[in-house]
Amino acid sequence: MGFIKVAAALQLILSSISAAPTGVIGLEKNAVSQSPIVYDAVIVGGGPAGLSAVSGLARVRRKVLLIDSGEYRNDPTRHMHDVIGADGLSPPFFRWKARGQLAYYESASLINGTVTTIKAATSNITSTVQDAPFTVRATLPSGEERTVGARGIILATGLRDIIPDTPGLQQNWGKGIYWCPWCDGNEHADQALGILSPLIDAASSVQEISTLNSDIIAFVNGTYTPEARAATEKKFPNWEKYLELRNIKIENRTIAGLVRLADGGANEHPEAPTFPEHDLFRFP
């Protein structure tokens, strides 16, 4: 079992930003030429990465436009962790706070919308927007289409998790079923833990979480085969001994579904950045 991460992480393709005039900006057309506004940079995506990029550019008065379609990877989670200064905040509150801070910078604009095309001017193709290396087209929530020019583009479009369609997995994703010990492990420390993983990654996953949990079953979803055992030995020599010493059991049957028995979000602490979340699941 497990999930595959697709799409690229933050890619910085900020290129050829020249010294440009700064000042109050908007999406309206340039008053003199009637051509679309040309930004120093258009940032695609308004999660932590995109918002940070706005800050870096706006603080040196680059004319910057952030366009965000609002489908955040960490949307299902209760609280964000391991972002120092923001430990335990809810992601929407974090973004609201960041947007409030960015509102003080006149050269930054943030809008909701989906970027549908980015065209680069090449030696053969000239950009639709005059004098802009990039032409960006976006659909706004109203359905209206907008075109702007940009000297650089930052793709801060994040990642998408592809969760197996095992009943109960997607529904509880981010709420007691988590992928990263730094994000949610401390809140589930010392609880009985199931690791969903192919055999080859089971021992390294146990190792990763070993300072937090000891009562662990590795659910390897039918991957306990002679070939996988050999491959695991190559990747993690003496893995069987490692698991045996820690009393970690391996369950090779496929999980048909998950049913929630207890909700770790039921007892929120109003102030503490971290507190135990007692989630409990049963396999029907």
Q: Give the residue with the Cβ less far from ligand FAD, 25 or 156.
A: 156
All residues at 6 or more sequence positions from 78 whose CB lies less than 8 Å from its CB, including other chains: 90, 174, 175, 264, 265, 268, 277
For ligand FAD, the binding residue among 22, 27, 55, 72 (CB under 6 A) is 72
Cα 276 to Cα 75, 96, 151, 184, 273: the distances in Å are: 20, 26, 47, 10, 11
Q: Least distance in Å: CB of 100 to ligand FAD?
A: 17
140-159 residues in contact with ligand FAD (CB under 6 A) are 156-158
Distance from CA of residue 28 to its chain's centroid? 31
Contact status: 172 vs ligand FAD (CB under 6 A): no
What is the SS3 assignment for 187? helix
8-37 residues in contact with ligand FAD (CB under 6 A) are 10
Q: Give the residue with the Cβ less far from ligand FAD, 30 or 211.
A: 211
For ligand FAD, the binding residue among 133, 174, 198, 264 (CB under 6 A) is 174
Q: Are 161 and 179 a contacting pair, CB within 8 Å?
A: yes
Distance from CA of residue 55 to its chain's centroid? 19
For the chain, helix (H) and strand (E) counts, in that order, are 6, 14
Contact status: 43 vs ligand FAD (CB under 6 A): no
Q: Least distance in Å: CB of 86 to ligand FAD?
A: 9
Measured over all CA atoms, what is the biggest interatomic distance in the chain, rounded to whole angstroms?
Answer: 75
Contact status: 74 vs ligand FAD (CB under 6 A): yes
Q: Which residue is at the shortest CB distance from ligand FAD?
A: 47
Q: Give the residue with the Cβ less far from ligand FAD, 44 or 199.
A: 44
| Cα separation, 211 vs 189, whole angstroms | 8
Total Cβ atoms within 10 A of residue 237? 10
Contact status: 45 vs ligand FAD (CB under 6 A): yes
77-116 residues in contact with ligand FAD (CB under 6 A) are 77, 80-83, 114-115
Residues forming the site for ligand FAD (CB under 6 A): 10, 44-50, 67-74, 76-77, 80-83, 114-115, 156-158, 161, 174, 183
